[in-house]
Amino acid sequence: MELREILKKVVLLGDGGVGKTSLIARYVVDKFDDKYIATIGTKVSRKDIQVIKPNLIVNLRLMIWDVLGQKEYSKIRAASLSGAQGLILVGDLTRQDTVDSLLDFWLKEAELVVGKVPTVVVGNKADLADKEQMTATVLESQGQKLDFPTCLASAKTGENVEGMFHTLGEMMVADVVAPPSAGSDEPKTLAEVMDHIVQDFCAQYGDLEKAMLIVQHQFQEAGIDIRRPNRDAVLQALDGLARAEELSLSKTVSMVNLEERRKMVVLARD
């Protein structure tokens, strides 16, 4: 399993009062504050997410830019938009005009600065609006026209907030793939598989010395004889490595690794 660290700049755009600042606050610290102060200038927040792909885990750091929603401040906004790799266009489902301006104004303005980048269209304040109503329908058809995913969300209830950022995250790393592993079609011997797993574990763990101590300990616990490894013992040791990874990396990473390694061990030649 490959690990990749990637940083991306995301900018939220939309008329004043649609809920951009509230959506970011909800996503980054998971709380909705009715007294959240209106954005003055630009604020940047950070959030780390993981995108799992075949043979690859992308640790994606989102730098989320909250910019002024007043249409007049175009120069400040252009500066904030520069280098954006993903856009979230936010409309307020209770105000049709804010949805209309997403494509008429905000997308046009953004494209002048950054060109075409992955974009998600969001109808916020779903808690106040009927999802069947006109505004929601318009928002969805606008998104479809441009082939952008759309979602109805609420910064107040948290509905779809995580989802909209994750969708954009996946779009931004769509072209990131794991390099083909040389000779991976060949069925390997159990010893070769163990060699691969130990190397992979150490690389992901970061601290080589500590990683080797953990491997040694787990192999001992499982009673593995390096010269004549026993498949069940190796499988047992994998559980131990996964527990260590769960603490040092994350539960998701440890689960993906465990599944992949188990498969390799089961398929290995004796």
Q: Residue 12 and residue 61: Cα distance in Å, rounded?
A: 16
Q: Which of 3, 6, 32, 39 binds Mg ion (CB under 5 A)?
A: 39
Q: Which of 21, 119, 150, 154 binds Mg ion (CB under 5 A)?
A: 21
Rounded to the nearest whole angstrom, what is the least distance from the CB of residue 39 to Mg ion in the complex?
3
Rounded to the nearest whole angstrom, what is the least distance from the CB of residue 83 to ligand G3D in the complex?
21
58 vs 99 by CB, closer to ligand G3D: 99
Q: Which does 257 bind (CB under 5 to 8 A by kind): Mg ion, ligand G3D, none?
A: none
58 vs 155 by CB, closer to Mg ion: 155
Residue 161's nearest CA partner among 189, 125, 213, 133 is 125
Residue sitting closest to ligand G3D (CB):
19
CA angle (163 as vertex; 65, 32 as ends), nearest 5: 65
Stretch that binds Mg ion, among 1-9, 19-27, 40-48, 104-112 (CB under 5 A): 19-27
CA distances, 39 to each of 15, 25, 71, 88, 156 (Å): 12, 11, 14, 17, 17
Residues contributing to the site for ligand G3D (CB under 6 A) = 14, 16-22, 34, 36, 38-39, 69, 124-125, 127-128, 154-156
Q: Which does 105 bind (CB under 5 to 8 A by kind): ligand G3D, Mg ion, none?
A: none
Instruction: Kindly compute the dihedral angle of the four CA atoms of residues 95, 97, 98, 100, in this order, to the nearest 10 degrees.
Output: 130
**DSSP secondary structure letters along 39-51:** P-S-EEEEEEEEE
Q: Which does 128 bind (CB under 5 to 8 A by kind): Mg ion, ligand G3D, none?
A: ligand G3D
What is the identity of the amino acid at 58?
Answer: V
Q: Which does 85 bind (CB under 5 to 8 A by kind): ligand G3D, Mg ion, none?
A: none
What is the identity of the amino acid at 203?
Answer: A
66 vs 245 by CB, closer to ligand G3D: 66
Q: Residue 219 and residue 211: Cα distance in Å, rounded?
A: 12
Q: Which distant-in-sequence residues (6+ apart) come within 8 Å of 172 by Cβ?
A: 8, 10, 60, 85, 86, 118
- Summarize as ranges the residues that interact with Mg ion (CB under 5 A): 21, 39
